[in-house]
Amino acid sequence: MAESTKPATNSFDTQHEDMIHDAQMDYYGKRLATCSSDRTIRIFEVEGENQRLIQVLQGHEGPVWQVAWAHPKFGSILASCSYDGRVFIWKEVEGNWTKIKEHTHHTSSVNSISWAPHELGPVIACASSDGKVSVLTFRDDATWDVQVLQADAIGCNAVAWAPATTPGGLIQVSGAAPNANSVKRFATGGCDNQIKIWSWREDTNTWKEEDSLEGHTDWIRDLAWAPNIGLPKTYLASCSQDKTVLIWTKDSPNGSWVKKALKAEKFPDVVWRVSWSLSGNILAVSCGDNKVTLWKENLKGDWECVSEMEEKNIY
């Protein structure tokens, strides 16, 4: 099957033939990548209110669940994951997109992918229904190193990297090394209703389970760490099949996680996605009732809904 095809039209009218599962803007907000049950990935150029389809990427043999842009310091690179159990890494060279890596270590659907903070290098984590999470690292010799860990006995639905610096880490202690505050950590969520925090052990070159967070009563669907620039503590948001969103906070690296429901009552439907603003103080929540709500923490530590929109108006 061809890896990519050029569209015959410059119009945004060329749409996916089936349900869109994900849509991600690149770092500069100039390109939009979408993926669908029709097994394709489509890349659009965005200029103001105008969009132009520039590429259709093909090769997956099942619905494509997620797409993720790498940091531009590594080039124009996009990752995709699919029900077919594979992860593709795509790269644009002189206007043409080609597949540079096909990751086939999983035996079931790959449900979530997440690039590590760029400070850690070109590293991507992949979560699968086989219960495993694989971490791919691109080496200087142009090879990929793969590490696989068992994250969930039933199935893993979500993976998200923590910021590379801890809260307050931007305030350097006099004489400290530039990377002294760097951290290498990610969270996973799955069908066992638990969130697990994994950290890298330099002494053994392995990933170690650091924490296990319990609070949801059904499958976890998505996780998101808040950027910590200017924030006094760590924030992690989780959403679930149980129709709730939980906010997990940690005041210090050695402190305990504290959970709080985003709101007292449940959402009307399954909550599928959570995403933080770049400043880390606004949380977007995507629910199965086709609404996206924006939430902000007030001075009392309670979360308030500051905006609501219908998803049908987004695309």
- Per-residue pLDDT tens digits for 185-199: 999 999 999 999 999
**Separation between Cα atoms, residue 90 and residue 129, nearest integer Å:** 23
Token couple for 64: 């494509």
**Separation between Cα atoms, residue 304 and residue 67, nearest integer Å:** 30
**Separation between Cα atoms, residue 303 and residue 94, nearest integer Å:** 46
The amino acid that residue 227 corresponds to is: P
pTM: 0.87
Residue 112, beta-bridge partner list: 127
254-313 residue pLDDT tens: 889 999 999 999 999 999 999 999 888 899 999 999 899 999 999 998 999 999 987 654
Name residues whose C-beta falls within 8 Å of residue 269's C-beta, 6 or more positions apart in sequence. Answer: 243, 287, 288, 289
63-107 residue pLDDT tens: 999 999 999 999 999 999 999 999 999 999 998 999 999 999 999
